[in-house]
Amino acid sequence: MKTFVQIGETTHQVEVTERLGELQVLLNGEPCELEYNEADNLGQIILMHGGKSYAMSMEGTPHDISVTLAGYRYDCELEDERERAANLAAKAANKGGGVLKAVMPGVVVELLVAEGDEVTEGQPLLILEAMKMQNEIPAGGDGIVKAIHASAGTAVAAGDKLITLAAKEDA
């Protein structure tokens, strides 16, 4: 599974898998040779890269962590693919209107609104199943459903139009 790590204004895509007992890491789609050993169960790690070792410690929650690496502290926000899809959809809808697009492939399980419906911020618009997880896609702001571009049971690709919202003053 991909994880999106935001450090300041920069977001990195990290994919970690284990194959034959070895850690495989892709950083922004490129292989990154890393090794690590846990120094203790308190978040202290020894990270090895390019023949050098680095002391690293992590603390915080699963979504907001602080990493100290080689004496430098980095505040990070983490999202998995499902969370990123839901958050990007909410941000797109929050603009007071516009086209809400699928940010990852999935299947529209259920439409929760109809054309002409007034929606309020946070109201679920549809349920999208992606990676065996059902995600409620909410309205990011108040508006009116102008058009629905997908129906229940429809498979959608990343970037496909789902719903067009109009700001109340545009309707």
What is the rounded CA–CA span in Å between residue 109 and residue 106? 9
Q: Mean per-residue pLDDT for 36-40?
A: 86
Show which of 52, 80, 108 is a domain's final residue: 80
Coil/strand/helix, residue 11: strand
Spatial CA neighbour of 125 closest among 135, 115, 139:
139
**93 and 166 share one domain:** yes
pLDDT value at 31 more than 70:
yes
Q: Please state the φ and ψ torsions of residue 86, each to the nearest 5 degrees.
A: -65, -40
**89 and 68 share one domain:** no
**20 and 9 share one domain:** yes
What is the rounded CA–CA span in Å between residue 165 and residue 93? 7
pLDDT in tens, 125-153: 999 888 788 888 887 678 899 999 999 99
**138 and 69 share one domain:** no
Q: Mean per-residue pLDDT for 6-30?
A: 87
In the prediction, which pLDDT does 91 show?
61
Distance of CA 162 to the CA centre of its chain: 18
Contacts of residue 115, Cβ cutoff 8 Å, sequence gap at least 6: 145, 146, 147, 148
What is the rounded CA–CA span in Å between residue 38 and residue 154? 45
pLDDT-based confidence at residue 41 (cuts at 50, 70, 90): confident
What is the rounded CA–CA span in Å between residue 56 and residue 49? 12
Q: Mean per-residue pLDDT for 36-46?
A: 85
Q: Which domain holds residue 107?
A: 82-170
* Domain containing residue 133: CATH number: 2.40.50.100
Q: What is the mean pLDDT of the chain?
A: 84
**75 and 110 share one domain:** no
Q: Mean per-residue pLDDT for 101-114?
A: 88
| Number of domains observed in the structure of the chain | 2
**76 and 87 share one domain:** no
Query: Full-prediction pTM beyond 0.85?
Result: no
**41 and 105 share one domain:** no
Q: Mean per-residue pLDDT for 31-53?
A: 87
pLDDT in tens, 52-95: 998 999 888 877 888 898 888 989 988 888 887 777 766 655 55
DSSP letter string, 118-169: EE-TT-EEEEEEETTEEEEEE-SSSEEEEEE---TT-EE-TT-EEEEEE-GG
